[in-house]
Amino acid sequence: MRAFLIIAPDGSLLFEAAGVADILGHANRFCPNADGGAYRIAFAGTQAHRVVHGASGLNLLADHRLADLDPATEWDTIVIVGRGTSEDEGNKVADWVRRAAPNARRVVSICGGAMVLAQAGLLDGRRATTHWRLLDTLQSRFPNVIVERGPIYVRDGPIWTSAGVTAGFDLTLALIEDDYGFTTARNVAQELVMFLRRPGGQSQFSRYVVDLARNPGPIRELQSWILDHLTEDLSVERLAEHVAMSPRNFTRVFSREAGIPPAKYVEEVRLDAARQRLEQGSGSVEQIARATGFGNGLNLRRVFERNLRITPTEYRERFRMLSVA
């Protein structure tokens, strides 16, 4: 039997913690040969009491207070769901996990829990992901983390991290498969009417939030201009000419001000525009490719597959507005 400790900070989405527990609990039904069942699950709250106050107003009564648990206790897997609502809470959880990690076979985070693992130093030099809204924050606050922006979960040695919310369920199925094999994970997925492998690949389909440069000036003005001129020549040379800089100096200044190289910025805003048109409009892939500066459907498909692991047509089928004919 594998002992799981699920740490649920205050303000968590409780269905994340409960969902992980339910998925693991169902695995017990399909592992009759496991000694006492596949998993033993315990919840720990992070407050002075055992009540975890959920973001929705619902509460969960934990089995333990985290402060009462000895970090030297051996757990098969420690799971952190969310990052808490205060800096003090996050510091306490990070400190406990830092001391407990050497005694666990695996340490797992769901959604913002990756911020806690990073704070504990467990992600230094490792690949990791988190909710798409936190990707830039994770990278800027913890530059030693190798942030993966596409996958819904990432495994790097004994550390597993997932993207936001329900991505943690995909990760949990992956843990079951790692522990007890494909057949058990498949049986659990079928029982719970889940995808063992999401259609279109394991991508969180995060909305690219491309921020404008931090400071007012020519780079921010250029970014706004780019958004209105996606079909024009947006090469580095052309953009550098637009702001009267040499290409080399322009690339350096743009990257510093915007936090992203100019070519990558152009690709992301074009991709974002294409995604919106696929979600909201009925134009063909070729028409959308031309309207967003990709030139043709082949180029658009390549960018989609590289960034989202899915084709434009598959993306439209999954995210198209119901009102679009």
Q: What is the pLDDT of residue 36?
A: 67
Q: What is the pLDDT of residue 106?
A: 98
Q: In Å, how far are 106, 248, 297 from 231, measured between CA atoms? A: 48, 23, 14
Identify the residue whose tokens are 């119901």.
322
Q: What is the pLDDT of residue 58?
A: 92
Looking at the domain that runs over 218-319, which CATH code has it been given? 1.10.10.60
How many CA atoms are closer than 13 Å to the CA of 115, on its beta-carbon side?
Answer: 25
Residues 173-178: contacts with CB under 8 Å, at least 24 apart = 173/23, 175/77, 175/106, 175/108, 176/23, 176/24, 176/27, 176/38
Residues of the chain with pLDDT under 50: 200-201, 209, 323-325
Residue 267: CB atoms within 10 Å: 19
Q: How far apart are CA 214 and CA 220, in angstroms?
A: 8
Q: What is the pLDDT of residue 280?
A: 81
| 8 Å CB contact between 52 and 59 | yes
Q: What is the pLDDT of residue 35?
A: 65
Contacting residues for 284 by C-beta, under 8 A, at least 6 apart? 297
Q: How far apart are CA 303 and CA 273, in angstroms?
A: 13
Q: What is the pLDDT of residue 34?
A: 60
Beta-strand ranges (E) seen in 2-110 are 2-8, 39-45, 51-53, 59-61, 64-65, 75-81, 104-110
Identify the residue whose tokens are 């294409």.
274
Assign residue 209 a region (left: φ > 0; alpha: ψ between -120 and 50; beta: otherwise): beta
Amino acid at 50: R
Q: What is the pLDDT of residue 324?
A: 41
Q: What is the pLDDT of residue 319?
A: 76
Q: What is the pLDDT of residue 151?
A: 84
DSSP symbol at 48: S
Q: How far is CA 199 from the centre of its chain?
A: 17
Domain ranges (residues) in the chain: 2-191, 218-319
| 111 has catalytic annotation | yes
* Coil, strand or helix at 59: strand
Tell the CATH topology of 2-191: Rossmann fold (3.40.50)
Q: How far apart are CA 174 and CA 162, in angstroms?
A: 11
From 8, 38, 101, 111, active-site residue: 111
